[in-house]
Structure formats: structure tokens, C-alpha cells
Homo-oligomer: A and B are copies of this chain.
């Protein structure tokens, strides 16, 4: 196998890249200037050593405590529990949320052998128990595992006195009833909201 083929093979292991897009990127790199390739290579190689997990919430960070947890202008009484660090980025992109986060590190999944004690749940309970928290938003994905995990957490936190909420499930904005699946439609019916005018 040639150098080029080996690179294409490795690139196509990246998420979202098939053989065709990997080939296109490899040829792009062949024509890119040396500085760009050197820079990109250095970033990839050094990535994991320069990034760690936030000691408070588990988000990826370069410092001991991430930029969100150390931001005094955010609402520290509101915690949004997510499955993975990248979910934080997605929620931040909405500019709708000014609380802080908690990364669970996955979802409870007996099939994959993931038990509650494998997740970052104890730390969430500890944070909630510290007293300053008013609400925990459970933002796990609306899948069987995500729902199970949310229910588990809701039960676990029920005695703590904080409000526990779950992200709304329903028809996506701009969507079409005709193309909504049954479960989504059923949930959006059950979760219908009063229209204020």
C-alpha cells in the first residue's frame, strides 16, 4: 500500500468521512502548503496532551476548571446534565442557556454493560447536595437509554428538593407532521403547551 493509500485509509476512519471524501482530503493535502500540513499534524498529535477534563463539570478544557464553570456571570444554580462534552457545544450554540453543565460521560445501557456507577453520577449528586442548585435539566438524548438515564437521575435527585426537568421532545421546528414518526408525534401530543396570546 502506498503512502497516499495509507493516509486515505486512516482518514476514512474519521467520523463522517467515506473513501471518496477521504481521497479528496488527501489530494487537497498533497497540494496544500507545507506550513498548513505541519500545523494540522502538530495539532492532531498534541491534542490529547493539551486538553483535560474540567474538575467540576467534566467538560474538555485546557485549564483546571473550564471557561463555563469559572464564569461568574453564569447562573450557577442551574445545572444541565449532558451525555458528552460535545453536547455542551451544541447547547451553547443556541445562546439560550446561561447555567452551568455536568457531563455524565454516557448513558445507562445494560446491553453495552454501562451501569449507573460507570457514569459521572455520584459527582452530580454531590454537586446538587451542596445546596446552591435550584434546577437540574436532564438533557440526555431522547433515546431509550437517554430516557432511562433521565428517569434514573430524576428518581435519585427527587429527595434533594431541586427542580428536575427534561428537555422537551416533539416535532422539530420547521418540520412536518406528515414526516414525524409516531413516537415523536405521541410525545409532542402528551407534552402539548398552552398557547398564550
Q: Does A29 contact B (CB under 8 A)?
A: yes
When the two chains form their complex, are residues B30 and A37 in contact, meaning their CB atoms are under 8 A apart? Answer: no
Give the A interface residue count (CB, 8 A).
43
Q: In A31-51, which residues have CB < 8 Å from any B CB?
A: 34, 36-48, 50-51
Of A15-23, A128-136, A146-154, the one contacting chain B is A15-23
When the two chains form their complex, are residues A51 and B14 in contact, meaning their CB atoms are under 8 A apart? Answer: no
Residues of B within 8 Å of A6, CB to CB, are 43
Q: Which of B17, B24, B30 contacts A60 (CB 8 A)?
A: B30
Q: Does A195 contact B (CB under 8 A)?
A: no
When the two chains form their complex, are residues B38 and A45 in contact, meaning their CB atoms are under 8 A apart? Answer: yes
Q: Does A3 contact B (CB under 8 A)?
A: yes
Classify the interface of chain A: helix, strand, loop or mixed.
helix
Q: Known contacts being A3-B62, A25-B14, is A45 close to B37, with CB within 8 Å?
A: yes
Q: In A114-153, which residues have CB < 8 Å from any B CB?
A: none
Q: Can you name 23 A-B pairs with beta carbons within 8 Å?
A: A3-B43, A3-B46, A7-B40, A7-B43, A7-B44, A7-B47, A10-B39, A10-B40, A13-B36, A14-B28, A15-B24, A15-B25, A16-B24, A16-B25, A24-B86, A27-B84, A29-B44, A30-B60, A40-B44, A41-B41, A41-B45, A42-B45, A44-B44
Q: In A56-113, which residues have CB < 8 Å from any B CB?
A: 60, 62, 84-86, 89
Q: Which of B23, B30, B48, B84 contacts A47 (CB 8 A)?
A: B30
